[in-house]
Structures are given as structure tokens and as C-alpha cells.
A and B are shown apart, each in its own frame.
Chain A
Amino acid sequence: MSTRFWTGSRRDAAAGYLFIAPQLLGSILFVFVPLGLVFWYSLHEWNVLADTFTFVGADNYQALLDDPRLTDALAATGLFSAGLVVLNLTLALLLAVLLNQRLRGTVFFRTVFFSPVVVSLVAWTIVWGFLLQNDGGINGLLKTVGVHGPNWLRGETTAMLAVVVVQVVKNVGLNMVLFLAALQGVPANLYEAATVDGASRTRQFRSITVPMISPTILLTSIITVVGSLQVFAQIAVLTQGGPGTSTTVLVYYLYQQAFQFHHFGYGATLSVLLFAIVLLLTLVQWRMRRKWVFHES
């Protein structure tokens, strides 16, 4: 080996490429190739059972526009995402503010609120399905105080509400922890100065806390919105998309079309739609950061 060719910087560059090679090749093979294939498949009629794969151009996209079930799926997805984001972020912020007080026992409560995050998702959902049945534990508890509870998972509004609540309780701990870390980064002297100026607690929260932790609010809202679009296991276990189509969110509908009805082409078209929505929402939120985010490090 000629030492002149292997200069320090060349050797460094070789090491760099070698270090990123697994991740780069993996991304190409398992992210970008399938993404390209999704677009390609979406231009085909592909029935797996009949083993037909024919180019149909934009037909699947036309079918998308004419599909009444898609409207339902988008409505369910929008409802779920909106409900989840609002409830999750509000509760996470409330918990973080409460646990950020100088109180005994905050570590205990922090552990309690975070613990569902580490419970297996399907196990968690099964237990809630058990609790939410008509003769389940929640209605049993309600009956002891004289309230007749609804059949939660069989009513169109209550089913969606149930799925949202189950998901919020499962994952709110993550956002709570991120908010807690952000709150602890707000300099205490800002509050001291505001107190001297006679600002009320709510005023302080609005004018100091929220602007100072706005980067975290942006980050958590992006994570939560994108995560909400991916909900699947909870739907599959709790409601199977029902009653009717009230909880058939986009990913569940995609799964049904591709893997239950074996319409791979149409499933791929739904995947393209999902990708477009995720991309659009992320970009919108990113653009909005100028409005929201008070300071960026």
C-alpha cells in the first residue's frame, strides 16, 4: 500500500463511508426502493388472488376520488388525530406543570404517568377492551355510583372517543417528560422578575412559559400528529374499524384493502395518499415554526 495515496484525509473519508454504509444501504433498500415501488404499484391493477398485474395509469387515483369509504376513512383519521393531539398535548402540559412544582412525591407520580409507555401496546389495548365492554369494569364502576354507562365500543361517537382516550393514556407520558425537561430549562429569574412586576400566574404561563418552551411544543406536536396517522393496533384490537366505518382510519383501511381484500394496487395508492398527508402536515408544521417558536437553538 502506497502511503502517499492513503493520506490522512483520504483515510478519514474512507472510514466515514465505511461507517455510514450499513445505514445508507439499509435506507436505500428498505426505505427508498419500497417508496419508489409504492408509486409504481399505485399505477397498476394488482389482484394477488387472481395473480394479475396490469398497468392502468391513473385509474386507482380516479377510484380514490370515487371511493365513498375513503371519505369515511379520512374523516375518521382527521377526528382521531385532532382529538388525540389536543387531548395529548393539553394533558401532557398540565401534568408537566403540576409535576414541575416543588412538591414531595413528584418522582412517584412521574413514574405512574410514564408507566403505560412501557406496557406492551396490544396488552394495554386488550385490557382497555376488557374494561370498556358493555358489562366491563368501567360500566361496573359507573353502576356503583348509579350511572348507566353506554356500550362504549359499539357506539359511533363513544368508540372513537374510547380509542382516543386509550391512546392518550398510553403515550402521554412521553410528551410529559419532554415538557418537563423543557420547563426545567426555563430560567427562574424570568419568573422572579414577572412576580416583582405583579404578573399573575396565568399571565406568567402565557407570556413566559409557553414562548420559552415553544420549540418543544412544536417538536411534540409533530411527533404526535405523525404518530396519530399511524394508529393501527388499537383499532384492530378494540373496534376492527367499527361500528360501521366510524373508526376505520386510513392505515386500517390500507391494511384491509391490501392484506384482507388483496387489492395491492389500490393499497399502494392509499399508501401514496398517506405519504402525501404526512409530508404535507410535517411541512406545514415546519413552516409554522416561525410563528410559534420564540427561540430556536
Chain B
Amino acid sequence: MSRRTKTAIYGVLCLLALPFLFPTWWMITSSVKPVNEIFAFPPTLWPSEVRFDAYRRAFELQPFAQQYFNSMYIALLVTVGTLAVSAMAGYAFARIRFPGANVLFVVILTGLLIPSEVTIVPLFKMFDAWGMVDTHWPLILVPILGAPGVLATFIMRQFFLALPGELEEAARVDGLGRFAIFRLIALPLARPALGAVAIFTFLHSWNLYLEPIVFLSSSEMFTLPQALTQFTDAYGGPMWDIQLSAATMTALPVLAVFVIAQRQFIEGLAHTGLKG
């Protein structure tokens, strides 16, 4: 490759990188700017002085720590639950012969064709009838057992299909039962697939917005995405300094984990079943 081609490629990449890097940079720097500097002209790329007032006020205006905890524990529960349910089902569909397995697999898989937005009205009525509106149950149960979990099951099945059978055979000869084989042999080998499923399950739950605003009504039950949009003034206009500091607190931890473990993130997602 000639030097000119190389320079051209770097040029294009740097230019394209701007809309990817700039918003995050703008979010973090603006969140620590003094309020009157947020809309300064010309825009300041670097804050003239660093202030954390907006961070403090985010916790005063809403039970933000509680909301943070809500999002975190829901996402973790959903992740663990999805891993358990999808690994078991995926394993069974890939490695166990039982009557009706193919039909049942197709039935479960058709769930992928039904976006959760389609079923939101009846789900609301169902959880309403069970007295679970304004609780976290809908945000925990539906992602684990409903449509989002189906994709996880599919990915786990694809992974278990590719596993060599000899190890299992040896274990069977040694007299291990199905559950022991699953737990002691298949599951440890499935770590890359479990990792990928864990990542996208966590992100999915962390990003959920329609479901929380439909199911939750009291601010101490809110999750972060919902809480972020509630920092408004008396006229309903956004309080930008506080929204930006709260957005920074929401985005930064996951972003930091990603930058540290980006190889596992990207390769995990690229190589797990999704190759089709």
C-alpha cells in the first residue's frame, strides 16, 4: 500500500471518528462547566473551571442513588437469569435428543419475530392484573423469560452444537448424569458464548426505556434512562447541566469497562453465532 493511500485512509478514519468521539467529549466537559458557559459562543472545548455542582444537585433533585441501584441490580439479575435459562435451553436443544425437540425449538424461535413493542399493551394489562405495576417484576421477568431471552437461547444452542462430543461421551461412561455433564463440562467450555450473551443482555436491560416508562410511576422505582429525562425545570425544559452530569454518570462506568475489555466485547459479539 502506497504512503498516499495510507494517509488518505487515516484522514477518512479521523474525520469519521469525530461524530463518535465528540458527543462523549462534549457530554463530559459540559457537565463540569459553570452553567453560563454551557452555551458560550464560541463553544469552549475545555471548561474554564471545573465544577461538580450539577453532580451534587442530581442527587438532591431525585433519588438518583436509588435509581442507579435499581438499574444496576435489575440489569445484573436479568443477566444472571438469562444466562441460566438460555444456557440450559440451548444445551438441551443442541445436545439432548428428546421427542418434539425440533418443533419446540421452532416454536420458541418464532418469539424472535415478535418485538416486545407488539405485546406491550397486553403485558401491561397482565402485570396490572397481578398487582405488579410500579414494581420491577415486569423489567426482570419479561427480558429473562420472554422474547429477548430467545435470542440468547439461540446463540447458546449454536455454540453447544459446535462442541465436540467426545468429552461428554467420556463423562457418560464415567457415570455422570445429564445435569452434572452440563454443569461440569459443557458450561465451563461455553465461557466465550456466555460472555457475549452476558454483555448484550446487560446492555439491553441497561438501555430499556419504553418498558420502564410504561410500568413504573414513582420516582424511587425509576431506572436510569427514565430518571435522566426527569431533570426538568418548572416549564418542562431540560436542566442541561444536571441532565449532562447524570448522563455522564450513567454512560461513563460502562464505557470505562468497555475500553478496558474492548477485545472481549467486540470479539465475543462478532464470533458468537451471529455469523449466521
- Interface residue ranges, A against B (CB under 8 Å): 9, 11-13, 15-17, 19-20, 22-27, 29-35, 37-38, 41, 91, 95, 98-99, 101-103, 105, 107, 109-124, 126-131, 135-137, 140-141, 143-144, 165, 169, 174, 177-178, 180-182, 185, 215-216, 218-219, 226, 229-230, 232-233, 236-237, 251, 254-255, 258-259, 264, 267-268, 271-272, 274-275, 278-279, 282, 297
CB <8 Å contact, A15 and B92: yes
Question: With a CB–CB cut-off of 8 A, which chain B residues contact A232?
Answer: 117, 209-210
Tell me, yes or no, whether B235 is within 8 Å of chain A by CB: no
Indicate which residue in B24, B108, B114, B270 contacts A115 across the interface (CB closer than 8 Å): B24
Q: Please measure, in the bound complex, the distance between the C-alpha atom of A140 and the C-alpha atom of B19, giving whole angstroms.
A: 15
A-B contact pairs, 30 of them (CB 8 A): A13-B98, A15-B177, A15-B179, A16-B96, A16-B98, A30-B142, A30-B147, A31-B119, A33-B126, A37-B122, A98-B13, A103-B1, A103-B9, A111-B259, A113-B20, A116-B24, A119-B251, A126-B243, A127-B26, A130-B244, A136-B39, A181-B270, A215-B276, A232-B117, A233-B209, A233-B225, A236-B213, A259-B214, A275-B114, A282-B113
CB <8 Å contact, B266 and A114: yes
Tell me, yes or no, whether B216 is within 8 Å of chain A by CB: no
Indicate which residue in A19, A26, A27, A174 contacts B91 across the interface (CB closer than 8 Å): A19
CB <8 Å contact, B113 and A278: yes
Question: With a CB–CB cut-off of 8 A, which chain A residues contact B98?
Answer: 12-13, 15-17
Given contacts A23-B85, A98-B9, A181-B271, contact A137 B26 (CB under 8 A): yes
Given contacts A98-B9, A101-B9, A131-B26, contact A126 B244 (CB under 8 A): yes
Interface residues on chain B, size class: 35 or more
CB <8 Å contact, B118 and A131: no
Question: With a CB–CB cut-off of 8 A, which chain B residues contact A12?
Answer: 96-98, 178
Please choose the segment from B46-54, B55-63, B99-107, B187-195 that sits at the chain A interface, where 4 or more of its residues have CB less than 8 A away: B99-107
- Interface residue ranges, B against A (CB under 8 Å): 1, 6, 9-10, 12-13, 16-17, 19-21, 23-24, 26-27, 30, 39, 41-43, 84-86, 88-89, 91-93, 96-99, 101, 104, 107-108, 111, 113-115, 117-126, 141-142, 144-147, 149-150, 153, 177-179, 182, 203, 206-207, 209-210, 213-214, 224-226, 228-229, 238, 240, 243-244, 246-248, 250-251, 254-255, 257-259, 262-263, 265-266, 269-271, 274-276
CB <8 Å contact, A182 and B23: no
CB <8 Å contact, B114 and A140: no
CB <8 Å contact, B142 and A264: no
Question: With a CB–CB cut-off of 8 A, which chain A residues contact B93?
Answer: 20
Q: Please measure, in the bound complex, the distance between the C-alpha atom of A30 and the C-alpha atom of B146, giving whole angstroms.
A: 5
Q: B118 to chain A: closest CB distance in Å?
A: 5
Indicate which residue in B91, B150, B203 contacts A118 across the interface (CB closer than 8 Å): B203
Question: With a CB–CB cut-off of 8 A, which chain A residues contact B259?
Answer: 111, 115
Q: A233 to chain B: closest CB distance in Å?
A: 4
Question: With a CB–CB cut-off of 8 A, which chain B residues contact A251?
Answer: 117, 210
CB <8 Å contact, B250 and A23: no
CB <8 Å contact, A177 and B146: no
Question: With a CB–CB cut-off of 8 A, which chain A residues contact B39?
Answer: 135-136
Name the residue on A nearest B87 (C-beta).
A19
Given contacts A124-B251, A177-B266, A180-B270, contact A35 B89 (CB under 8 A): no
CB <8 Å contact, A38 and B119: yes
Closest A-B pairs by Cβ, 4 of them: A26-B145, A16-B98, A30-B146, A19-B92
CB <8 Å contact, B251 and A27: no
CB <8 Å contact, B228 and A126: yes
Q: Please measure, in the bound complex, the distance between the C-alpha atom of A174 and the C-alpha atom of B270, giving whole angstroms.
A: 8
9 more contacts with CB within 8 A, not counting A103-B6, A144-B42, are A16-B101, A30-B142, A112-B17, A112-B21, A122-B250, A169-B23, A259-B124, A259-B214, A274-B115
Given contacts A26-B146, A237-B229, contact A123 B123 (CB under 8 A): no
Question: With a CB–CB cut-off of 8 A, which chain A residues contact B12?
Answer: 98
Name the residue on B nearest A111 (C-beta).
B262
Indicate which residue in A101, A137, A271 contacts B120 across the interface (CB closer than 8 Å): A271
Given contacts A23-B108, A180-B270, A181-B271, contact A279 B89 (CB under 8 A): no
Question: With a CB–CB cut-off of 8 A, which chain B residues contact A109?
Answer: 13, 17
Q: Please measure, in the bound complex, the distance between the C-alpha atom of A24 and the C-alpha atom of B13, giving whole angstroms.
A: 46
B30, B121, B206, B247: which has the most chain A beta carbons within 10 Å? B121
Given contacts A130-B240, A181-B271, contact A35 B254 (CB under 8 A): no
